[in-house]
Structure 1
């Protein structure tokens, strides 16, 4: 099995996520990541961002990484009927009249003021990554939530790479003027409904440990804490 999932963008960056398995020894993880790190250095990629268990932290710091923050990971089964608020409409970007530029502006507003500390990309890079990571049909995976015709948030439900039924949200966010009014939990609940609709049987979501609002949404919608990982970064 692969011990790390890696997303590579030309010579710009590598995004690496440890695949945790209790049967794998710490030394095996260290050896596997050392090999990956050597390849990154040899190819002189811009930076490497890593999600890894904090027990490796001192070793990572010794390799030249700096710690950015810690993420918490929540999960729940998608084994019930997710009834959604009839006053909130949802439409895929490919079926809407919204242009890609408008969607980018909506995305940028939704992510403004976030408590997440790991801010890696400009909105231009985000839009580019949608096609790179989701594929040419990415617009079918982007959903816009509206109320009375006004966009209030967005969600991008996907099946995790390398799995057949693990649901993730590539992104989920609420417009600033609609925050603090209970819409975050409602839109997240609708996102779980969307995930179930594309074949997911479980949901896994993550956020910065400082993002108490998103953690509250996870807990309100029946998700339970599964894991914690440090976020580490090294630049060439």
Structure 2
């Protein structure tokens, strides 16, 4: 049984996320993570970022972690009929005239001014992680939303590693000029439809505890609060 999901980039970082199971006692999670942390210390990685139940916060702080923020996690089934939206076109990056450099600029616009505090990566690192985590065909996961021929947002739907039907959004965002006009809810709903087309049967999304606007988007699209975790980080000396 997997207790933590782990993404590594040699020499740079480990990203660790607690996978909660109702039947697993907390002490087992602590023991498993202590072993994982010991393995990380043997590497030359610069830092480890962890998502973990906040009941272990004092123990983590005692291990040398500092708290970055907290995230909330929402979920919903994907059995609804997610219809298209008049006036909104969806274009795959793999079939677009947009090159990787311009996509990176659009991505940067979408994440600018975000309420999320856990912005660990530069755009260069994000573009590298797309290929590292999604494979050589990563452009086929990247969707560009357009209105009147102009990009207004992006979505990167994926099936969660280790599952066959859990839908996630590697990233979802709207450009600053289009925020506060209802497009976030529309584009998120369209993203759920993209996940359903990928044979996902349910969706799990998360955001920073300060991102009240994203809470409302989740709730308007039928998602319900599922969990809350702390974001913790430790650096190598």
The answer to whether the superposition gives a TM-score over 0.5 is yes
Alignment of 1:1-236 (within 5 A): 1-236=1-236
Conserved? CA contact 1:52–1:229, under 8 Å: yes
Q: Secondary structure at the match of 1:22?
A: coil
Q: Could you tell me how far apart the structure 2 residues matched to 1:84 and 1:180 are? A: 20
Q: Could you tell me how far apart the structure 2 residues matched to 1:3 and 1:159 are? A: 18
- 1:84 deviates by 2.0
TM-score normalised according to structure 1 size: 0.99
Alpha-carbon RMSD: 0.5
Q: Could you tell me how far apart the structure 1 residues matched to 2:32 and 2:165 are? A: 26
Q: Could you tell me how far apart the structure 2 residues matched to 1:43 and 1:127 are? A: 24
Q: Could you tell me how far apart the structure 2 residues matched to 1:221 and 1:80 are? A: 10
- 1:80 deviates by 1.3
| Matched positions, count | 236
- Detail structure 1 runs of 4+ shifted over 3 Å in the superposition: none
Q: Could you tell me how far apart the structure 1 residues matched to 2:170 and 2:74 are? A: 15
Unpaired runs of at least 5, structure 2? none
- 1:3 deviates by 0.7
Q: Secondary structure at the match of 1:43?
A: coil
Q: Could you tell me how far apart the structure 1 residues matched to 2:121 and 2:234 are? A: 15
Q: Secondary structure at the match of 2:80?
A: coil
Conserved? CA contact 1:84–1:186, under 8 Å: no
- 1:44 deviates by 2.9
Q: Could you tell me how far apart the structure 1 residues matched to 2:61 and 2:225 are? A: 26
- 1:2 deviates by 1.6
Q: Could you tell me how far apart the structure 1 residues matched to 2:214 and 2:136 are? A: 29
TM-score normalised according to structure 2 size: 0.99
